[in-house]
Structure 1
Amino acid sequence: MAERPIRLFGDPVLRSRCDVIPVGDPRAAPLVADLLENVRIPGRAGLAANQIGVGLRAFSYNIDGDVGYVINPELVEVSGEPELVEEGCLSVPGFYFPRRRYPFARVRGVDLDGNVVEISGEGLMAQALQHEVDHLDGHLYIEGLEPEAKREAMRAIRQAPWY
């Protein structure tokens, strides 16, 4: 496996809902291996399949040394009062903007063998779970910014050298 290039804001794959992966699909194991390898790169908390150009419903996470993956994840629970947190994204490199996220989140999906997996957490884990499921639903975090922050974000993105 090798480091996979990250798809950037403007790439259509980031705006499409990812397809469910059937249990036993031969594409699943290599995709999970790539997601796990690429989320271990320093500075990465999560990586959705569409960020590496694959329109399948899977993501990996790397929060405080806890590394894992979920196939076909669905956000099944959020709780608490949404809090303003600084958030960034590999697909919008170099920027962090204030975004409201729930302080607790739970995701349910499956592993490579089709066993049910539940991941939950608070703080950064909750933020990452919400962020990655948003990706798989075809949404970037900047869509959820407050109007003034969103205007600032779009202005900054249009001036970015990678745009």
Structure 2
Amino acid sequence: MTIRPITMIGHRALEQRTRKVREVTDDIRTLVADMIETNDAADGAGLAAPQVGSRWRLFVYACEDATGTLRRGVVINPVLTRLGPLELDEETIEGCLSVPGEGYPTARHRGARVTGTDLEGEPVEVEDTGGVLARALQHEVDHLEGSLYLDRLSPARRREALDAVTARGWRARGVLSWDPSRLTADRV
């Protein structure tokens, strides 16, 4: 297993829709194992394939659900169902490993369910209402559609976020990834 560099805002992989996984190959298994290790090293709630430069439609997650139970897993070819109303809680900050060190209140549905398959090709369903997991499921599927959480912000907050990215010097330096084995997200 390898900790892979995490792509950052501005990287082309984050702006493209992903491709459906037709067969779980050894390469897919290696990708998933590396993504789990990378997500753990970065202390992430989840990590989608585009965040490590891959175009496959899959993500891993490791976060608490509404009951406080740590849930971990992988979902291949997820289909998202949003549950409950769209809510904006100013106290709940959403962040992203591809926009390290920043976080903003982001409107999300209270709950979410994803269906897909696991590495064995078995059906999997993950659901949460009101926990970090519900937010993470929506966030990771957004990545698979070529969207960042910044795209969901109000125009003023989006401008604030992009100004913060510029202030960190990422665009000026051409930084398009960071290595969680060497740096922490807030020191990128």
Same fold judged by TM-score > 0.5?
yes
Partner residue in 1 for 2:179: none
The Cα of 1:146 is off from its aligned counterpart by 1.1
Query: After the TM superposition, which parts of structure 1 deviate over 2 Å for at least 4 consecutive aligned residues?
Result: 23-27
Aligned residue number for residue 50 of structure 1: 50
> Where does residue 155 of structure 2 map in the other structure?
147
| Equivalent residue, structure 1, for 2:31 | 31
Q: In the alignment, does 2:85 pair up with 1:66?
A: no
CA–CA distance in 2 between the matches of 1:131 and 1:24?
A: 23
Identify which of 80, 84, 90 aligns with 2:85.
Answer: 80
1:161 to 163, 169, 172: 169
How far apart are the structure 2 equivalents of 1:145 and 1:127?
Answer: 14
CA-CA distance at 1:24 after TM superposition: 3.5
TM-score of the two chains, using structure 2 as the length reference: 0.81
Secondary structure in structure 2 of the residue aligned to 1:102 = strand
Aligned to 1:103, the other structure's residue is in SS state strand
CA shift at 1:113, angstroms?
Answer: 2.0
Larger relative contact order (CA 8 Å, sep ≥ 6):
2
Question: In the alignment, is residue 133 of structure 1 matched against residue 138 of structure 2?
Answer: no
Q: Secondary structure at the match of 2:60?
A: strand
Please give the secondary structure, in 1, of the residue aligned with 2:20: coil
Unaligned runs of 5+ in 1: none
Alpha-carbon offset, residue 154 of structure 1: 1.2
1:37-60 Cα deviation digits (max 9, x unpaired): 222225210000110011101100
Tell whether 2:104 aligns with 1:97. Answer: yes
Gaps of 5+ in 2: 65-69, 172-188
Which residue of 2 is the match for residue 115 of structure 1? 122
Match for residue 132 of structure 2 among 124, 135, 145: 124
Q: Which amino acid aligns with 1:127?
A: R
Cα distance change on mapping 1:12 and 1:81 into 2, 3 Å: closer
The answer as to whether partners of 2:112 and 2:137 remain within 8 angstroms in 1 is yes
Aligned sequence identity (%) = 42
Higher mean C-alpha deviation, range 152-161 or range 94-103: 152-161
- How far 1:83 sits from its partner (Å)? 2.9
Return the alpha-carbon distance in structure 2 between the equivalents of residues 14 and 42 of structure 1.
18
